[in-house]
Amino acid sequence: TWAQIVIPQTSIAVIKGEMVVLKVSYRTDPNHDLSTDTILWNFISNNTQLIISYTKGSMSVSSTQFKGRVGFVSSMPSSDVSLYINNTQESDTGHYLCQIIIPNNPGLTGQVNLDVKVPPAPPRCSLSGKPALKGNVTLSCTSSYGTPVPTYSWKRTSPTSEVFFPPTLSKIFLFFSGSCSRFLSVKGVFFSCHGGVLTLGFCLCREFLVKGVI
């Protein structure tokens, strides 16, 4: 018996909480009895676990992680062995292996990679240090969660919008003690640094001046 597996999309990204369908189907001899085939879906992350199986007319969900959230898209037996996952979680990120066991055939195997993205928490930004002439100030911004790890950019907001520097780090620190020519608005205060160097999230300023309060 000849057979061929079909996987239209091998990598899928989804937002946490959404439903996703891992599409897999197979082709075989038109006269082949599909009810004699065994279908297995395994999840591969830190270890391998059987999610769901269909064999001899019976379907079974084996994984406690996915229980109540997974199933076959089509009524089995079917040549469409696509798997749906409801309410996706960050822990669902990994490789999904579909195995199709066919009597008198070597069998078929296909893999779909799933990436569950988590929207970042609203960033918490803070200022430490005293904004005074020749003083040192640390500006920081971070989110408590987010997958992939969120990156940030600082922008000049007045008189025109301008990117202070491109996103480079998941947690940004600015140390004002050297030189750079930019304005930065933080907590209602304009900071002006003159004559300088701007590299990888660090703005070193020789001159520091509070320009005013918004």
Contact 20, 93 (CB under 8 A): no
Global pTM value:
0.68
Strand partners for 14: 116
| pLDDT band, residue 39 (cuts 50/70/90) | very high
Question: Mean pLDDT across the stretch 25-29?
Answer: 95
Among 40-44, 45-49, 92-96, 146-150, whose mean pLDDT is lowest?
146-150
Output the 3-class SS for 27-59. Answer: EECCCCCHHHCEEEEEEECCCEEEEEEEECCEE
Domain boundaries, the chain: 3-117, 124-213
- What pLDDT is stored for residue 158 in this prediction? 61
> Can you list the positions of beta strands (E) in 86-180?
94-101, 108-117, 124-128, 138-142, 154-156, 162-165, 172-175
Contact 80, 93 (CB under 8 A): no
- What pLDDT is stored for residue 133 in this prediction? 76
Domain 3-117 fold: Immunoglobulin-like (2.60.40)
Question: Mean pLDDT across the stretch 126-144?
Answer: 80
SS3 state of residue 156: strand
- What pLDDT is stored for residue 194 in this prediction? 36
Q: What percent of the chain has pLDDT over 90?
A: 50
Question: Mean pLDDT across the stretch 53-62?
Answer: 94
- Concatenated DSSP letters for 200-213? TTEEE-S-EEEEEE
